[in-house]
Structure 1
């Protein structure tokens, strides 16, 4: 069975001729990637857009969730206070992130770009973000570097003039020659900050993935020095743990998105798109669970602004993540179907999530986010 339409493949954007997968390609013939293989750059760019649609389809209809690994949030319990002295209607969720004010500590996670459906998704989400006063990460802009037509799928500023808008490029795709193009892509969309995603496991599972990460930290340092934007480093759902955080310690970055395991497994998504099945289930279940990633990065980089993402599904998840040390949370896949449906559906999904978070603060006796962060969570087991 093949999977066609998205979640963002933060690294979903490698092009070029399909190549064999030494080491991972045994055990049956590899599925072809329509549009790949010949015809030069135009065919290559068409293949990127096609792959993005297949990522969307897999995330809508395929078994892309981790099956044995959880986020780890279930190991913590928020302290419920039956004698809360707060007023639900005045609980204050406002905060700031990357120099921008937010009415709630929520970002729309990176999803997609480069196809017409991607444009619909991004614009519907942007409209909701503007109304709610929250931030938005865009999907990988790799395709924008070579395709001006694809840039339209990232155009959301007209609908979201006040939103914290975060661009997105892959660590594996950074090069000296790409820096001017990245700067132009950021200017084109009116971004406020740039997310650089690192996704070695996903790229290893992708049919034509970029698997050479050697020297990538040096390239990241040069990029951060060359661009006038705050840089956020993120994973895509397999987690940033203590070892990775240590390597970020001396880099000129503004924030980290731990993007932990427990939500969507991109090693699973790529296998579904590539083979029509999860051929390597152990790899698909690999990663640093979100709660562990969050606590490890907070301990390693105590002053670093942190985003918690990876399996954030409810306001309770969000409140737990914030109490564990996150500054904001991000969610993506739960918003995919609503974003395809309409701006109103996307708004409704996000509004419900934010209001559940507000109820959690009220039930804990916290009237704002600093009060939530002062609470002691109960560790179960």
Structure 2
């Protein structure tokens, strides 16, 4: 089994495609009922689901969330299909971890996407723990420059690293280093979990470090702990299974993050991700205070096929989201956002 960073990327993808239980389906959305309006007093064709993100207008609040990137035709093909689809539909896109391009220069091609998506927000991505492993501001700046990105994800994945056979587990003193990166870059830094949620304490530390953009990436969708279980070195190592449902659900994390951010006087952005599987889930996230919704797993198979397949999936999410807005009697995203009265 390959232990290179590039090989690890492909192993992750194959695990997701081969094990349906990696999709946990426990993000908390099933516990939220919304108030149907039989008299919405709206023309559905006039419903406006558009929003702003990183200074650009999106047709609806969708971010194609981080999936992959690396050397080899498979990663290149997927990221290009995603970028082309993002441009065609006008939604935002984040790439997977760019660490691989610093060990394998050939991987840079899979992150050189601005030419395919010239008009949409693009987010670069580096693991925050790498700031304790020799990475610094220059690495982060290079990740942004290769993508010509509008922002940088610094992702937090302590559970994945704890379970991963070759994981980097020193998360000490990261808040200070995150602050240094945030202060040095010309683009915003977004603090992101990868599937276990951000707590109030995490968001508070991020605010102290100068972060104003957060992606909660809660529990209940793709379980990276279970993915790493498939890559275990010993057959009797079940750590990945024991912790496959660890963390805050997306709903729990959204509520905690919004409460913390509400006390900050500066403008902040809250991205919901983790198990969002249709436009109704998106509507629930916006009602709970999210500005944007990140979706990854539903686009994985489509990205392996073609950009047209990805576009079709995105259009499906858009139609579902706009339909939910109509049936809730909300004419635009501002009428939906934070409107807890819509929850039963």
Deviation of 1:167 (Å): 0.3
Rounded Cα–Cα distance in structure 1 between residues aligned with 2:97 and 2:242: 26
Rounded Cα–Cα distance in structure 2 between residues aligned with 1:249 and 1:179: 19
Rounded Cα–Cα distance in structure 2 between residues aligned with 1:146 and 1:366: 49
Instruction: Identify which of 141, 153, 160 aligns with 1:195.
Output: 153
Instruction: Identify which of 110, 114, 117 aligns with 1:153.
Output: 110
In the alignment, which residue of structure 1 is the partner of 2:27? 71
In the alignment, which residue of structure 2 is the partner of 1:294? 254
- 1:61 counterpart = 2:21: no
Rounded Cα–Cα distance in structure 1 between residues aligned with 2:118 and 2:326: 31
CA displacement, residues 195-218 of structure 1 (integer Å, 9 cap, x when unaligned) = 000000000111101000001111
Deviation of 1:143 (Å): 1.2
What is the count of residue pairs matched by the alignment?
Answer: 335
Give the alignment's TM-score, normalised by structure 1: 0.84
- 1:228 counterpart = 2:186: yes
Q: 1:351 to 1:77 in 2, by over 3 A?
A: same
Rounded Cα–Cα distance in structure 1 between residues aligned with 2:21 and 2:68: 16
CA displacement, residues 48-106 of structure 1 (integer Å, 9 cap, x when unaligned) = 11111010001111145354x71111221121101111122121111112222212100
Q: 1:112 to 1:174 in 2, by over 3 A?
A: same
Rounded Cα–Cα distance in structure 1 between residues aligned with 2:217 and 2:53: 17
Give the alignment's TM-score, normalised by structure 2: 0.93
Structure 2 portions without partners, runs of 5+: none
RMSD across aligned positions (CA): 1.7
Q: Which runs of 4+ in 1 moved over 4 A?
A: 275-278
- 1:119 counterpart = 2:76: yes
Aligned pairs (5 A) from 1:1-381? 33-34=1-2, 36=3, 47-65=4-22, 67=24, 70-115=26-71, 116-174=73-131, 178-274=136-232, 279-280=238-239, 281-302=241-262, 304-373=268-337, 374=339, 376-379=341-344
Deviation of 1:174 (Å): 1.3
Structure 1 portions without partners, runs of 5+: 1-32, 37-46
Rounded Cα–Cα distance in structure 1 between residues aligned with 2:282 and 2:139: 35
Deviation of 1:161 (Å): 0.3
CA displacement, residues 16-58 of structure 1 (integer Å, 9 cap, x when unaligned) = xxxxxxxxxxxxxxxxx43x4xxxxxxxxxx111111010001
Deviation of 1:111 (Å): 0.4
